[in-house]
């Protein structure tokens, strides 16, 4: 009987200790969860205060389209990746590849639509909505056959022209009241098919001037973020 009483007493002592440890663990867990929620709120609050700049380069995904005339936007984006030290990553829900850079009170989002050129607007619409970017803080970079090879034009806004990627964006957004950088690739020779021309590669003598144009366009995009569209037009137009 004495042994049984001792066992019963020991059990009574162990039970409160267990409950105490459990209660402490629950409090610690609640504190951690609370801190996590607080950090999330702080992060979201900071992001809301940031000015977000969205830079989109148009092109076609896939090795077979790399370095073709229609991929001038992608060429410029690769230079912006190097400039900011980031790599674009595929985001299936956004239908594109993106990278984010925080620069003081600004956030820069780089994006390449992976929908193919004629459906670029589907990605642009999603990314613009995801980051809640106003028109004036979205910049689109693309090729333009109406400009001579190597020419760069920065504009505050304008229509889509004959560019299918820009037409897709206009269709999805309902307007084109946003800045853009056009990189001239030159028009096709008389009688040549347009699709074959824009999906073709640069001639050897064109490559140096195009490389310089891609660099100027990337620099113009950085000026746009830091100094605004007027300065980007003044310094970037060639």
DSSP string, 192-217: --HHHHHTSBPPTTTHHHHHHHHHHH
pLDDT at residue 150 in the model: 96
Cα–Cα distance measured from residue 231 to residue 235, given in angstroms and rounded to the nearest whole number? 6
End-to-end C-alpha distance for the chain, whole angstroms: 101
Cα–Cα distance measured from residue 117 to residue 59, given in angstroms and rounded to the nearest whole number? 6
Q: Is the dihedral of CA 87, 93, 94, 95 positive or negative?
A: positive
Q: Residues 37, 67, 70, 201: which is the catalytic one?
A: 70
Q: pTM of the entire structure?
A: 0.80
* Tens digits of pLDDT across the chain (238 residues): 444 444 444 444 444 544 455 555 555 545 554 554 455 444 445 556 789 999 999 999 999 999 999 999 999 999 999 999 999 999 999 999 999 999 888 999 999 999 999 999 999 999 999 999 999 999 999 999 999 999 999 999 999 998 999 999 999 999 999 999 999 999 988 888 889 999 999 999 999 999 999 999 999 999 999 999 999 999 999 7
Token digits of residue 19:
């409950």
Are 204 and 143 a contacting pair, CB within 8 Å?
A: no
Q: Catalytic residue at 201?
A: no
């Amino acid at each position: 009987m004495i042994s049984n009483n001792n066992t019963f007493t020991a059990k009574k002592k162990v039970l409160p200790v267990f409950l105490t440890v459990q209660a402490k663990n629950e409090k610690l867990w609640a504190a951690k969860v609370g801190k996590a929620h607080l950090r999330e709120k702080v992060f979201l609050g900071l992001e809301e205060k940031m000015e977000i700049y969205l830079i989109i380069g148009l092109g076609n995904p896939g090795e077979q389209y790399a370095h073709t005339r229609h991929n001038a936007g992608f060429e410029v984006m690769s230079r912006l990746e190097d400039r900011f030290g980031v790599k674009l990553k595929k985001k299936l829900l956004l239908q594109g590849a993106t990278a984010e850079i925080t620069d003081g009170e600004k956030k820069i989002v780089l994006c390449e639509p992976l929908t193919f050129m004629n459906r670029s607007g589907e990605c642009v619409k999603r990314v613009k909505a995801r980051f809640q970017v106003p028109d004036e803080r979205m910049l689109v970079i693309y090729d333009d056959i109406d400009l001579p090879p190597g020419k760069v034009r920065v504009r505050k806004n304008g229509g889509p022209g004959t560019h299918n990627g820009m037409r897709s964006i206009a269709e999805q957004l309902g307007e084109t009241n946003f800045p853009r950088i056009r990189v001239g690739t030159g028009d096709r020779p008389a009688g040549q098919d347009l699709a074959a021309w824009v999906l073709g590669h640069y001639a050897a003598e064109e490559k140096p001037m195009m490389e310089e144009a891609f660099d100027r366009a990337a620099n113009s995009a950085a000026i746009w973020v830091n100094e605004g569209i007027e300065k980007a037009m003044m310094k970037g137009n060639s």
